[in-house]
Structure 1
């Protein structure tokens, strides 16, 4: 075991239950590496687990260190690991909590971080890129189609917009007006969410909408998506399985039959980065010690991009 500084909670509750904790990070097992975390992504799942909302389906032992994605430097490698060595810069999902100075990860699920990509930006990619890629895969999008993305300025939405534009789709993105210019720069047609969304979308793309990806889980977004596409099987949400069921549309959680799409998702994001077009929006980077504030901001929502923590 190696000691590391981390953030944990001993009981379920509001963000204030988070506190600093010296944690033990084990030696990497077969197929694993231990990384020195340079940045960790903050996701809605983190605060849902902390609040106890996920305990029936995602039980955790207390004290629990949150965080499921990170970017950092390989510190040590486990048995059977090839292609990675101490000193390599990587990013991807973690096995142990990423709100810490050290974390374990499965070597096969990590990607090499280019020197030209910052650690905060790399830490913001794993969950968002895999989710965006998976959603487009499950929706069977095709070049020339028109896709509407609800919550297009969030961490997942921004990458979904970029992946779709790069694949030759026309993209409509719902967001607050403060984010409209940013979406235009990404190649999307922005529309404001809320009452009148269907009319605004039809005015923006008179040819119609073929497919819809929702990141919000809001009933109004799913209702609008079904009305716009006219086909429930071309609508997918990652926001709420309950709301998805109410509207008869697909819900994607990453536990589907096609498995984990990290490798192709990271490759697609890195190809955009190599071309100089990848936009990884960082809403704010907080010091690890300010994890309470970071999770409160995440819970409040309406973010442009991702929140990251810097150990």
Structure 2
């Protein structure tokens, strides 16, 4: 699926393109599943036209899971048949995205697929997982015995952040709508409902306030729930820019971080919540579902 101009889901169209070429340190991956992310919609709409070179047609999609079909001569990490996941974001937008039968991927963007996950589940791990891991581990440095408050805890990034923090021995409180409270309890978090008085509700659970706060929701929640944090709390956000004393988290591909996520998954300590799957030819419908925000869990395109 490609787009030949900026726009919404309506600009996506099927296309027959040549098989991607590979170089010495790239491999050809036959894609089995590709997860959607809000960034896909933003880029397709032209939101970063002033920051990224774009050459139409563009194949969108950064998160993939698939099988190596042809390794490069300088890629000893993988062989034909290796099952991999990848965060294939490029510095240029062109025909290298994941909504395709095959993608040529730099080996630095790939790691082995968790053996405990299906291709569908594994495709939802790279971007959301890296964002959550880098927020919890690097930005906030959440430690055993601390309390982490996650705003938007049932979302794609939030739910993974909950699990990563729990794996580090932290206590986790998560804000979410009522419909997701049982899901958060199943993960091991303590749910609190969004809305008026959320800071007081958190203080009822943690009188001294949360040691660390991760905002994956935005919409001014950090200001509205400021009372929930301890006076010296470490605060990070992936959704709200411009606040003082708040660490802004942007994900980046890091082989070691993505490998750590694979190890957590294989230890049964990290699961990806899948909300809906669509075949490749219905990618536009999948984007509409993502934009509507009504699906609880990752939206994945299945291919082949």
1:253 aligns with 2:254: no
1:234 aligns with 2:234: yes
* CA gap 1:168/1:107 in 2 versus in 1, 3 angstroms: same
Question: Does 141-150 or 271-280 show the bigger shift?
Answer: 271-280
1:63 aligned counterpart, secondary structure: coil
The match for 1:183 is 184
1:158 aligns with 2:150: no
1:245 aligned counterpart, secondary structure: coil
Cα distance in 1 for partners of 2:191, 2:64 equals 30
Cα distance in 2 for partners of 1:71, 1:249 equals 33
Cα distance in 1 for partners of 2:198, 2:192 equals 7
The match for 1:83 is 77
2:154 aligned counterpart, secondary structure: coil
1:33 aligns with 2:41: no
Displacement of 1:104 after TM fit? 1.6
Pairs aligned (count): 296
CA RMSD of aligned residues (A): 1.9
The two structures have a TM-score, normalised by structure 1, of: 0.89
Task: Return 5+ residue gaps in structure 1 as ranges.
Answer: 1-6
The match for 2:276 is 284
* Equivalent pair of 1:130/1:262 in contact (CA under 8 Å): no
Question: Does 202-211 or 75-84 show the bigger shift?
Answer: 202-211
* Equivalent pair of 2:236/2:248 in contact (CA under 8 Å): yes
The match for 2:293 is 301
The two structures have a TM-score, normalised by structure 2, of: 0.91
Match of 2:44 among 50, 72, 80: 50
- Greater helix content: 1
Displacement of 1:180 after TM fit? 0.6
2:76 aligned counterpart, secondary structure: coil
2:236 aligned counterpart, secondary structure: strand
1:270 aligns with 2:270: no
* Equivalent pair of 1:153/1:303 in contact (CA under 8 Å): no
* Equivalent pair of 1:148/1:171 in contact (CA under 8 Å): yes
* Equivalent pair of 2:200/2:227 in contact (CA under 8 Å): no
* Equivalent pair of 1:154/1:303 in contact (CA under 8 Å): no
